[in-house]
Amino acid sequence: MSTLQRETNPKSGYAPSLLPQHERKDGAYVPTGENNPLPTAGYIQSSAGLWIPRKGTDDGSANVNIKSALPVGSNVIGKTVMVDPAGDGVEVSSASNSIDGSGTNSNLLYTASYQQAFNGSGWDRWRNNQEGLLLPSTWRTTATTSATQINHNAKGLFLCLDITAVPNATETLILEVKSLVNGNGSWAYANYTIPANTVGKFYLLAYPGISEKTINRVVQSSTVIPRSWYASVNHSGAGAWMYSLSFATIL
């Protein structure tokens, strides 16, 4: 750090006075004046009375971005304020507004919690009833199996075989649900034999404790779903069928 600078031509009889000066970043003092002004920052006042420094861009232009003030009373104990997508402060609505059909502008502060279940090596999210397509609708002449499905926490399964075209013969289809244990082996634990020359929807319902019977194209089987399962459709002949297969798991 250098020493402060003094006048070089003081008034006769007077000691040299210190010059108006400021320190540079290298520690040296330089006189402050028209050719070497004191660095300053521009400020602008917000609607709330706050003085905010102006920000500059690389080309030297000013860039002022002022958001509205926080709501009146936001500093009161028991009130919560958040910043909305526009960057403005808004007061969070009370929890009583958290009801079905509440508007999108309720300013609610949402949190989420959910159940998890350990699968032996990691954690899975807890599922509600799930639906999906196992086999898309197309012509088939041989046995077809779906991809292996993972059951997270459902007990039952509902399959829908939708047949839209059949061969002109006495051929039948057998819809089966099969299971895997640790990826090894498979066996059918629920099945439905579809009659020949019949189009429409056929259902297979597997759930523990239900009565085992057939009612209006719905075969019921009292069983549970293992973690790994898949469905297969077996053909009794080489005729062409058109069908799709969808599923729904049931808690």
pLDDT, position 98: 47
Q: Is 111's pLDDT higher than 90?
A: no
- Give the CA radius of gyration of the chain: 39
Does residue 236 sit within a domain?
yes
Overall domain count for the chain: 1
**Higher model confidence: residue 140 or residue 81?**
140
Average pLDDT value over all residues in the chain: 78
Task: Note the pTM of the prediction, 2 decimals.
Answer: 0.54
- Give the range of the structural domain holding residue 209, as residue numbers without chain letter: 128-250
Rounded to an integer, the average pLDDT of 110-115 is: 70
Cα(190)–Cα(224) distance, rounded to whole angstroms? 10
Does residue 143 sit within a domain?
yes
Given a contact cutoff of 8 angstroms between Cβ atoms, the answer to whether 226 and 145 are in contact is no
- Would you put residue 95 in left (φ > 0), alpha (ψ -120 to 50) or beta? alpha
Given a contact cutoff of 8 angstroms between Cβ atoms, the answer to whether 21 and 28 are in contact is no
pLDDT, position 242: 94
Residue 29 phi/psi, 5° resolution?
A: -95, 135
Rounded to an integer, the average pLDDT of 231-236 is: 90
Does residue 90 sit within a domain?
no
Does residue 83 sit within a domain?
no
| CATH at residue 182 | 2.60.120.20
Q: Is 97's pLDDT higher than 50?
A: no
Does residue 22 sit within a domain?
no
Rounded to an integer, the average pLDDT of 15-28 is: 80
**Per-residue pLDDT tens for 39-62?**
666 677 776 667 777 666 656 555
**Per-residue pLDDT tens for 124-169?**
888 889 899 999 999 999 999 999 888 888 999 999 999 999 997 8
**Higher model confidence: residue 195 or residue 68?**
195
Q: Is 243's pLDDT higher than 90?
A: yes
Cα(207)–Cα(217) distance, rounded to whole angstroms? 16
Given a contact cutoff of 8 angstroms between Cβ atoms, the answer to whether 208 and 223 are in contact is yes
Q: How many CB atoms lie within 10 A of CB 249?
A: 21
Q: Is 206's pLDDT higher than 60?
A: yes
β-strands 218-221, 200-206 pairing:
parallel
Does residue 138 sit within a domain?
yes
Does residue 219 sit within a domain?
yes
Does residue 69 sit within a domain?
no
The beta-carbon contacts of 107-116 under 8 Å, at least 24 apart in sequence, are 107/82, 109/80, 109/82
